[in-house]
């Protein structure tokens, strides 16, 4: 395994990190031109990320007291593989920390975590216009799945679907 010589560390987020996580989520949303869609609060993140049966986890990259970036992920399951995996919901590195290997280290950490749980795949989505991210992911050995289209149901449509 390639070892990254870095001036930063990666660790599992703790409940005390909730305010930093929310700031990073908002910075990511601003970068993706989706800031108006962020409705998460510190209280909600504390409950969902650190409460009983939390569905997701967060890895933080940091140097000293400065948070450089994060990866938020959750477990999935592949019926074809018959094994679990990890879905990377968000990977974000602050602009000031880009080019230092932070994103690569976070992605490698998740690959290791996937193997630790006996997982068969690590997957994620990227916005079509985000060329820097696409280039980074391809450099890391990821390949796009052109034959798949992601669908989403939210808000009133979700409520209507649930109510029949």
Q: How far apart are CA 32 and CA 28, in angstroms?
A: 6
Identify whether the C-beta of residue 49 lies closer than 8 Å to the C-beta of residue 58.
yes
Q: Which of 31, 62, 87, 137 is catalytic?
A: 137
Determine phi and psi for 159, rounding to 5 degrees. -60, -45
Q: How far apart are CA 107 and CA 109, in angstroms?
A: 5
Angle between helices 18-31 and 42-50 (to 10 degrees): 110
Active site (annotated) includes residue 151: no
* Residues involved in catalysis: 137
């Amino acid at each position: 395994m390639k070892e990254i010589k870095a001036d930063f560390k990666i660790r599992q987020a703790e409940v005390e990190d909730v305010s930093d996580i929310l700031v990073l989520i908002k910075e990511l949303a601003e970068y993706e031109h989706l800031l108006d869609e962020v409705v998460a609060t510190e209280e909600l993140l504390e409950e969902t990320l650190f409460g009983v049966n939390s569905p997701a986890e967060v890895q933080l990259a940091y140097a000293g007291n400065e948070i450089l970036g994060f990866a938020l992920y959750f477990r999935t399951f592949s019926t074809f593989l018959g094994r679990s995996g990890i879905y990377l919901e968000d990977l974000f590195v602050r602009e000031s920390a880009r080019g230092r290997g932070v994103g690569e280290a976070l992605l490698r950490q998740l690959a290791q975590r996937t193997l630790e749980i006996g997982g068969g795949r690590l997957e994620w989505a990227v916005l079509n216009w985000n060329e820097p991210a696409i280039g980074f992911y391809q450099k890391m050995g990821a390949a796009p799945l052109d034959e798949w289209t992601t669908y989403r149901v939210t808000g009133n449509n979700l409520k209507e679907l649930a109510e029949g």
